[in-house]
Amino acid sequence: CMDSRIDPLGVLGKEPGDVKILRNAGARVTDDMLRTLILATYLLGVTRVLVMPHTNCRMAGGSESQIHAAILAEHGIDTRSVEFRTVDDQESALRTDLVRIRSHPLLPPGLVVGGVIFDVHSGAIRPIEA
């Protein structure tokens, strides 16, 4: 996720240069994430992927309509033409996203794909099986 409270390198015990980090709101596997993963695997040698949403995520704290309404009420901007991909069940959304990566026909066979949910309060990482 793009949440600035989370330091992905620190969470994973890695240093700058160790991993590629792709971030977006809600840690969702979008078409652009898949495009980037294809490039990363074939051009940059990436062999493992970890998808890591987190607890207390704003994208898991309200429906699409609630997010649109909040932006309209606070800023006067109608954002209904944009899909924010909110989730009401992070585990289910993560499982779906893991399947999207694992089944993508352009990603290489043997790509190791995992998913975890990071707890922002405890620092715990909970693996999720797809």
Digit-coded pLDDT (tens) for 7-23: 999 999 999 999 999 99
pLDDT score recorded for residue 65: 96
The residue to which tokens 């975890």 are assigned: 116
Residue 115, pLDDT above cutoff 90: yes
Q: What's the pLDDT at 130?
A: 76
Task: Give the residue among 85, 46, 30, 40 at the shortest CA–CA distance from 62.
Answer: 85
Rounded to an integer, the average pLDDT of 43-59 is 96
Q: CB of 43 within 8 A of CB of 70?
A: no
Model's pTM, two decimal places?
0.92
For strands 125-127 and 112-118, give the pairing.
Answer: antiparallel
Q: How far apart are CA 110 and CA 113, in angstroms?
A: 9
Q: What is the mean pLDDT of residues 49-74?
A: 95
